Amino acid sequence: MKLAAITFSPQGVWVCEQLRGTFRDLDLYVHTAVPLPAGAKAFVKVMTLVPQIFPQYRGLIFVAPSGLVVRSLSASVQSKLSDPAVVVVDVGGRTAISLLSGHEGGANALTVQVANILDAEVMISTTTEAVKDLIVGIGCRKGKSQQEIIAALTGVLERKNLSLERVRYLATAEVKSAEAGLLAAADSLDIPLRIISSARICSCQREFQSSSFVQQQVDLPAVAEPAALLAGWRTSLIVQKQACRGITIAVAQENCLSLA
């Protein structure tokens, strides 16, 4: 089953077009008050549209106010075991919210995918995810395998007496977003991979170790440490980058500042 995006504004259309560039199976629904982009479908009333399309898609991505979305879903919601994933994005593309069917329906995973495309913040309130507080930043040379990356990651966590079960995200730079070994490692560990844009890393004002080698190779001051710091909320670096045969690992903890 495919994905659908629904929006009501020109700004929302722009956000949806960013998503259509990656999600090739995305159907776009646009309110009739807005000029219709190529390939999109027009609708008049969202309260009529949603009940019609709700069972037809594995995920619905609304680029709209969350209150409007909640009201439009009210007549269709049945069960977390059968309802599609629902993600809400603000029209500025700044925040992606997992609203419905977070774990069982895949909304949490879809929210991370959407946030990675838009370089947005992730909002997930599922209890089992919210209690996790570690983000592992990873940098690696091209071609590093899934096994090598997992070994480096778990090795650092073990040496620092940190549990893998506390890891909420893996994080890396945009230039490593297609690294096969890294993608496979995240999939194998069943931990979402956050992609941090080059622009955010270059403008990051947080304190981290820069590397002239990384600057020469990928035109960034660093990867593992800033990725870990930027992928979460109120983060503090608790493990500085550790070099492991062409792989660098750093660990940030969320909410440390609120405990000070």
pLDDT at residue 105, rounded to an integer? 85
61: tokens are 């991505």
pLDDT at residue 258, rounded to an integer? 45
In the chain, where the domains are located: 2-128, 132-259
Sequential DSSP letters for 54-113: GGGEEEEEEES-HHHHHHHHTTT---TTTSPEEEEE-TTS-EEEEEES-STTSHHHHHHH
Per-residue pLDDT tens digits for 33-78? 999 999 999 999 999 999 999 999 999 999 999 999 999 999 999 9
Assigned architecture for domain 132-259: 2-Layer Sandwich (3.30)
Per-residue pLDDT tens digits for 153-209? 999 999 999 999 999 999 999 999 999 999 999 999 999 999 999 999 888 877 778
114: confidence class by pLDDT, cuts 50, 70, 90? very high
pLDDT at 112 over 60: yes
Assigned architecture for domain 2-128: 3-Layer(aba) Sandwich (3.40)
- CB 137, CB 227: distance < 8 Å: yes
Q: How many whole angstroms separate alpha carbon 259 and alpha carbon 170?
A: 23
- CB 4, CB 59: distance < 8 Å: yes
Q: Report the pLDDT averaged over residues 91-117.
A: 94
Mean pLDDT of the chain, nearest integer: 93
Verdict on whether the full-model pTM lies above 0.85? yes
